[in-house]
Amino acid sequence: MCGLLGLVCPSENDAATARPAVGEALRCQRHRGPDETDTWADGEIVFGFNRLAIIDVDHSHQPLTWGPPENPTRYTINFNGEIYNYLELRAELAQQHGATFDTEGDTEAIVAAYHHLGPAAVGRLRGMFAFLIWDSEAKVVFGARDPFGIKPLFVSTGPNGVAFASEKKSLLALTGTLGLADELDPVALQHYLVLQYVPEPESLHRNVRRIESGTSFTVSPGGELRTDRYFSPEFRTKPVSGPAQTAALHEEIAEVMRDSVAKHMRADVTVGSFLSGGIDSTAIAALAKEHNPNLITFTTGFEREGYSEVDVAAESAAAIGVKHVVRTVSAQEMMETLPLIVWYLDDPVADPALVPLWFIAREARKHVKVVLSGEGSDELFGGYTIYREPLSLAPFEKMPGALRRLAGKVSKAIPEGTRGKDLLRRGSLPLEERYYGNARLFRDDQLREVLPQYAEGVGHQDVTRPWYDLSRGWDPVSRMQHIDLFTWLRGDILVKADKVTMANSLELRVPFLDSEVFRVSSAIPLDQKITKETTKFALRRALDGIVPSHVLNRRKLGFPVPIRHWLRNDMYDWARGIIADSQTGHLLDKAAVRALLDEHRAGTLDHSRRLWALLVFMIWHGIFVENRIKVDVPEPQYPVYL
């Protein structure tokens, strides 16, 4: 787990001139890899790297050069992530192709696989990754990002070259080198206020984009960036009939999870696990305990009742027999730390859960260098409550079109906040219009009130349409899962997981987001995912006996944050101050934002999530655009090897 930076220049002179700037830009992502920092140049290519040493800690230094016997320096790789099947892959390459290795790590496995298998090598990698490989013989850079988007990779293209980085702020530091100017993207802002994150491939800076999940690419010095999607997830459910087939499915799920956790435990440093009160993280911790009897688990919570899973997590930790560490977070800590967290994020993410996650990551880094976590389970196994919506809206599907449209008109006439209003509104809409992921902040009418430059015709369907087009004919729940893989998961869940853990120089691994786990989960039939009583039905049955009984059928809270209450009390004056000081009047109607805050405080309506999105954006703008908010970014002060 590290931070990479790569620059592909039109000429050798450009590269030589740019190398010092690359070294300086690396400092922006020092937290991603405080163990080692290095730059490397060859002709038109400059690579920079920050290393967090996890596997083969005394070797596998990067950028790493490898090649066949006839040209041992042909390739140089910059790699962020972990390949969990690297031992098997190295053995296969040695046996079938005669590949030799100078290290014991996973980095050489990637570049050797690329040499012997070509671009198809990406499909053989079981892990999380973003990498660049310079082929000095073919004069081309080949790179890729993992199938689910666990590891980030930003790209910026200018007249002076193409640059890639694990952190956007490193590319912003290179805008002058690339011959670019910083420009805010208003379309990305509008998408952010609807979705609570900036969807791939966008960023809030027009000249910085993201390499999408499941995508590989090539670029030559002076040439254009060319991308290719190598992973297109499909939910092709297979029906099961009878107790024997059902039992076999549950056993297959348990075995693939056991195998995934075993491979995710591979490390030369200490591995711990996050633990909430839900089934996902509890299952990961229980399976990890099989490989590390001294496993340490970590959880966070708040003192307010109903917003903490600390007690349930502690009970789970005792049941599976692990040491447990708890970190409680206050409203004051959230307010004081939020600007620093937003700096680490690169782009705003309006998910309040990332704040307590930052605190528990900071606590965990005092004990371990790697943690396992349960992200991805809901998307793969059908865990979100909203996936049951097609069951509740089934009567609307049987209505004539005219009657469904009438239901929509009736919903508009019902006062805001009235029970049943949203059910009528959503029931009147087809799936493609009503579902665009787990976060739904501002509707169009609400956006018009806060965005002076609201763009008609820009909406969530711009983001979801391509993925809906690929899922025609699937059942509605599978289509919703498919949408979430390309929106909510990679835009919110994985961004916050990567950013806040790497901010603390902590590697986070997600065993549910594994290619073999997806192979099994993508074939689960609908009635084994969603029932009228529960979600993730098959997963719950598969984990019976692995997770404690008090967790098995419990609904997950995750890391809930009481911002609804705090914005009416503890955080009200703080929020007013952010709005007053922000220089975003040309982008947001600040009077309308203040009105939302006051209406929320009065208890008329709950605007907490919308307000949080606006406040986070204002802080982001104050840091990255206005340069008004100065963030004191600490130097990493952790043991080099733990």
Alpha helices in 504-624 (DSSP H): 515-521, 537-542, 549-552, 563-566, 572-581, 590-602, 608-624
Is residue 2 part of the annotated active site? The answer reads yes
Q: Classify residue 509 as exposed, middle or buried by CB count within 10 Å of its CB (0-12, 13-18, 19+).
A: buried
For residue 245, the tally of other CB atoms under 10 A from its CB is 12
- Describe the strand order of the beta sheet including 36-42 as a list of residue ranges: 36-42, 45-51, 2-8, 161-165, 154-158, 209-210
Instruction: Please report how many Cα atoms fall inside a 13 Å half-sphere around the Cα of residue 447, on the Cβ side.
Output: 23
**What whole-number distance in Å separates Cα of residue 248 and Cα of residue 28?**
50
Cα–Cα distance between 122 and 145 in angstroms, integer? Answer: 9
Record the tokens describing residue 271, joined without a space.
């591995």
Rounded CA gap, 158 and 161, in Å?
5
User: Residue 510, Cβ neighbours under 10 Å: how many?
Assistant: 24
Cβ atoms of 380 and 522 within 8 Å: the answer is yes
Of the candidates 44, 48, 49, 21, the residue with the CA atom closest to the CA atom of residue 33: 49
User: Cβ of 151: how many Cβ atoms within 10 Å?
Assistant: 24
b/e map 354-391, b = 16+ CB within 10 Å: bbbbbbbbbbbbeebbbbbbbbbbbbbbbbbeebbbbe
Tokens 């409203």 correspond to what residue? 331
Which residue from 246, 174, 188, 252 is spatially nearest to 18, judged by alpha carbons?
Answer: 174
For Cα atoms 570, 574, 578, give the angle at the middle one, nearest 5 degrees. 155
At 83, list the tokens: 């390949």
Residue from 2, 204, 447, 539 carrying the catalytic annotation: 2
Query: Which residues, at least 6 apart from 205, have a Cβ–Cβ distance to it below 8 Å?
Result: 168, 172, 182, 183, 184, 185
* Cα 61 to Cα 151: distance, rounded to the nearest angstrom: 19
Report d(CA 207, CA 171) in Å as an integer: 10
Written as six digits, the tokens of 14 are 């450009």
d(CA 22, CA 45): 11
DSSP code for 31: G
Active site residues: 2
